[in-house]
A and B are shown apart, each in its own frame.
Chain A
Amino acid sequence: MAAGTARTNGGNGAAPALLSVDGVTLQYKTRDHLVTATYRVSFQVQRGDRFVLLGPSGCGKSTLLKGVGGFMPPVEGSIALNGRPVERPGPDRMMVFQEFDQLLPWKTVRQNVLFPMLVSGRCARAEANDRAQRYIDKVNLTKFADIYPHMLSGGMKQRVAIARAMAMEPDILLMDEPFAALDALTRRKMQEELLQLWDDVRFTVLFVTHSIEEAIIVGSRILVLTPHPGQVRAELNTDGLGQQGHEGAAFQALHRRIHAMLFAQRVEQEERMRPHA
């Protein structure tokens, strides 16, 4: 049901996209090389999408997210949010990072959630307080609101980061492997909580992961990227498989299908190396 409602206005793609990434090539410099991270990648995110960028490491998915975040200008192509080109980082696209040190250690949980609302001038003090409390409650951290981040566990820190981003009520939430540094049990729990939050608030999220399983659980639509440099391999619907338990046949089938796409080349190479197999 969830995946269906996510694209009520999708139709034949006639509705204007919230985020449109058009033929984007991103490059970054290392000491000795100019690395092309993505090559002419295009996709469109509709309002309410849980849009997942999936690919093996080195496919430029995080770089792509940084591009959307405005941290990195594309060398080719364009990125537009609500029809306006993205030029610099801004509070209409809140990022949730993988690293636990994204919280400001000199502020309590509540102050961390308040801070972006106040400095960006998004809302007045009273409303900011209100929203902070609401989202801290939503991520189940009510009891920890006045504690400093160093006293929280990894999962709690990520929840604060999510609450902080969501309290801003941004046009789009950008999540860069937010659960990758968590243990498997906590990760599973956080995925479920994120889905519940989405059911509750109906935000739009662009989610980067390298885990096929996580992509199917969290996403409503998955963009599969190939590595070196990242190019679009496929764009798939999950049809709400994530909410229906992870062991079903359809889930496994989609998992296998994506797995085959990502590892096709390698399998071919291995087949050639073992001709009698």
Chain B
Amino acid sequence: MPDDKIMPAVRPEFEATPRDAGVIGDAARPLSLWERLSNHTGLRRVAILVALCLAWQLYAQWLNSPLMFPTFKDAMTAWIDATTRGPLIDRTLTSIRVLLIGYGCGIALAAVFTTLAVSTRVGTDLLSTLTAMFNPLPAIALLPLALLWFGLGIPSLVFVIIHSVLWAVALNTHTGFMAVSETLRMAGQNYGLRGIPYVVRILIPAAFPSILAGLKIGWAFAWRTLIAAELVFGVSSRSGGLGWFIFENRNQLETAYVFAGLFTVIIIGLLVESVIFRGIETRTVRRWGMQR
């Protein structure tokens, strides 16, 4: 048995003095222009957008059916026409105003619910039960009721937007608060922080990645719900929003203008995501190393 054991050969020992770093050369080399360009997130994304537009244009040209699928060029012309001479800007502003009211109210209510949930056990139960009930319920499904209660117009829209924002934001914020580490909590209490200052100065920044995620999801839900709601009853409302713009143009078979409306929805979504939310992210959670 002992003969089977592997025995490594005995090798001589040695010591070495490390070479001067000058001999090795630069440990850090500047990146080439191409490497730097391909590292730029914005640039990469713009490239993807350009490729998509190009594909659209080529496909639509090949299809050659402006009624069903206008080319990118036609859609852009329609968009420019609708913004400069048509009602598109008015419609957009109407939509955004309603959206901001709903979004703001939703966040305020979410703050109330989350405060209740972190401070009392009944609050926690209330929030989780309500969230479990209402989060899967599409806001649009509440629209008939909202129309019955608040009539045609802004209050109904605000009601369904609140419904779509509230649960997503509250759920995320609460999850974020629950996930704050015990050490950080104790560190905060150690400074003598209690009550509201403790929540504001320790819990909210510590839970900020989750809160921000909630705000993003809430924003997307609100935007979707609004456009959908406007499509459903925009026809009879007096000062319609973007949804109505889309609906109206479809009725008149102005397909290029339908695309212009959709295009606006997408642009605003992209702007909010890549300018506002990304800006907040780079200034907060990324700089703090809470998110890569």
User: 0/1 per residue, B264-291, Cβ < 8 Å to A?
Assistant: 0000000000000000000010011110
A148 close to B184 (CB less than 8 A) = no
**Interface residue from A90, A91, A101 paired with B184 (Cβ < 8 Å):** A101
Does A35 lie at the interface of the complex (its beta carbon under 8 Å from any beta carbon of B)? no
A94 close to B197 (CB less than 8 A) = no
Complex Cα distance A105/B183, Å? 12
B288 close to A89 (CB less than 8 A) = no
Q: Which residues of A are found within 8 Å of B202, using beta-carbon distances?
A: 104
Min CB gap A131→B, angstroms: 15
Does B192 lie at the interface of the complex (its beta carbon under 8 Å from any beta carbon of A)? yes
Does B189 lie at the interface of the complex (its beta carbon under 8 Å from any beta carbon of A)? yes
Complex Cα distance A274/B193, Å? 57
Q: Which residues of B are found within 8 Å of A88, using beta-carbon distances?
A: 189
B190 close to A150 (CB less than 8 A) = no
A71 close to B205 (CB less than 8 A) = no
A116 close to B181 (CB less than 8 A) = no
Q: Nearest A residue to B201 by beta-carbon distance?
A: A119
Does A97 lie at the interface of the complex (its beta carbon under 8 Å from any beta carbon of B)? yes
Q: Which of B160-210 contact A (CB under 8 A)?
A: 181, 183-184, 186-187, 189-193, 197, 201-202, 205-206, 208
B192 close to A106 (CB less than 8 A) = no
> Beyond A105-B289, A106-B288, is A71–B187 a contact (Cβ under 8 Å)?
no
Complex Cα distance A105/B189, Å? 16
**Interface residue from A94, A102, A115, A119 paired with B183 (Cβ < 8 Å):** A102
User: 0/1 per residue, A91-133, Cβ < 8 Å to B?
Assistant: 1011101010110111000000001100110000000000000
**Interface residue from B181, B193, B205, B288 paired with A119 (Cβ < 8 Å):** B193
A102 close to B187 (CB less than 8 A) = yes
User: 0/1 per residue, A143-179, Cβ < 8 Å to B?
Assistant: 0000011110000000000000000000000000000
Q: Which residues of A are found within 8 Å of B183, using beta-carbon distances?
A: 97, 99, 101-102
**Interface residue from B192, B197, B284, B287 paired with A89 (Cβ < 8 Å):** B192
A91 close to B191 (CB less than 8 A) = yes
**Interface residue from B186, B208, B289 paired with A148 (Cβ < 8 Å):** B289
**Interface residue from A99, A102, A106, A120 paired with B205 (Cβ < 8 Å):** A106
**Interface residue from B189, B288, B289 paired with A71 (Cβ < 8 Å):** B189
B193 close to A105 (CB less than 8 A) = no
Does A69 lie at the interface of the complex (its beta carbon under 8 Å from any beta carbon of B)? yes
A contact residues, total (Cβ < 8 Å): 24
**Interface residue from B187, B190, B284 paired with A106 (Cβ < 8 Å):** B284
A149 close to B289 (CB less than 8 A) = yes
> Beyond A91-B192, A116-B191, A151-B289, is A104–B205 a contact (Cβ under 8 Å)?
yes
> Beyond A89-B192, A116-B191, A119-B201, is A105–B290 a contact (Cβ under 8 Å)?
yes
Q: Nearest A residue to B181 by beta-carbon distance?
A: A101
Q: Which residues of B are found within 8 Å of A151, using beta-carbon distances?
A: 289
Min CB gap A25→B, angstroms: 21
Min CB gap A237→B, angstroms: 30
Complex Cα distance A102/B187, Å? 6
Q: Which residues of B are found within 8 Å of A105, using beta-carbon distances?
A: 206, 288-290
Min CB gap B280→A, angstroms: 13
Q: Nearest B residue to A90 by beta-carbon distance?
A: B192
Q: Which of A26-77 contact B (CB under 8 A)?
A: 69, 71
B288 close to A95 (CB less than 8 A) = no
Complex Cα distance A71/B189, Å? 9
* A residues at B contact (CB < 8 Å): 69, 71, 88-91, 93-95, 97, 99, 101-102, 104-106, 115-116, 119-120, 148-151
17 A-B residue pairings within 8 Å (CB atoms):
A71-B186, A94-B190, A95-B186, A95-B187, A97-B187, A102-B187, A105-B288, A105-B289, A106-B205, A106-B288, A116-B190, A119-B193, A119-B197, A120-B191, A120-B192, A148-B289, A150-B289
Besides A104-B206, A148-B288, A148-B289, 4 new A-B residue pairs in contact (Cβ under 8 A), listed by A number:
A102-B187, A105-B206, A106-B288, A120-B191
The 10 closest A-B pairs by CB, nearest first: A150-B289, A116-B191, A89-B189, A99-B183, A105-B288, A106-B205, A106-B288, A102-B183, A102-B187, A120-B192
